[in-house]
Amino acid sequence: SLGFAHFNFTAPSDVSYYVWNASGNQVTCSVQGFTFFMGMFSGLFYSCSLNLYSLAVVKYNKSDGYIHNKVEPFLHGVPIAFALIVNITLLAKQNLNDTGGRNCYAPIYRPPHWIGYEDGQTRDGFNIPCGRGHDGAVLFYYVNGLGTLFIAPLVIGFSLWMIRRSVLNQENNMASYGANNFTASAQQPDRSNSRVVLHRAIVYSVSYFLAWGSFTIGACFTVANLEWPIAVKYLANTFVP
């Protein structure tokens, strides 16, 4: 959300003729894009870390000390490291550009004044060359699509399925030894561990979809080199954390 809290002043002044308050330059645009993608990619993989933490506790019965010393560094380190590597790569390949709508996360810089000019040319009176970032756009599409469309949803879904399956197996084992009566008496009806995990999985899936679903749909449009529908833009700006 911090990446959006700029009132357009980070947008380059080259687009001030159609973007309100655009008074920045390519540096401020790149900073805003870097902040946005840092939060996006680290946030996506932190969602995976939360599920992997629960998996370590429920399925593998790891102690707090073991998780703190052996697992937690990776749960924090991997999201931050992945986000940094992606952002530095996008910065080096010039893939942090104005989208034409005040935000700076477009892979290729193609504002309205780009029409009639070739990539690499700079129109008189402007500072940023048209088609900036074109050479690295393919990398952007692959990384963005891989992270938002495949890795995070698969890790979250698979880990939640494993957690629920593990709890079901535990309940079946307890029932086979006559311990299920104790479990039922200690909890509310229909609120066994498996049901708690199932309900938590549903709630978490809904929250994940609300947070990232609209952006994922928008990413599909970006990969297809199409304009985001206005409704998707509003949903992404509202719900993306």
pLDDT, tens only, 186-218: 444 343 455 665 666 677 767 777 888 887 788
With beta carbons less than 8 A apart as the criterion, state whether 86 and 143 touch.
Answer: yes
**pLDDT tens per residue, range 87-129:** 998 899 999 999 876 788 878 898 888 888 888 999 999 999 9
Question: What integer pLDDT is reported at residue 94 of this predicted model?
Answer: 92
On average, the pLDDT of the chain sits at 81
**pLDDT tens per residue, range 36-49:** 889 888 888 888 88
Residue 174 vs residue 79, higher pLDDT: 79
For the chain, the distance separating the N- and C-terminal CA atoms, rounded to the nearest angstrom, is: 6
- AA identity, residue 130: C
Read off the pLDDT band of 14 (50, 70, 90).
very high
Read off the pLDDT band of 157 (50, 70, 90).
confident
Residue 42 to residue 60: CA distance in whole angstroms: 25
Question: What integer pLDDT is reported at residue 4 of this predicted model?
Answer: 66
Question: What integer pLDDT is reported at residue 128 of this predicted model?
Answer: 93
3-state helix, strand, coil in the chain (%, to 5): 65, 0, 30
**pLDDT tens per residue, range 54-77:** 888 888 888 889 989 999 999 999
Question: What integer pLDDT is reported at residue 29 of this predicted model?
Answer: 92
Read off the pLDDT band of 171 (50, 70, 90).
confident
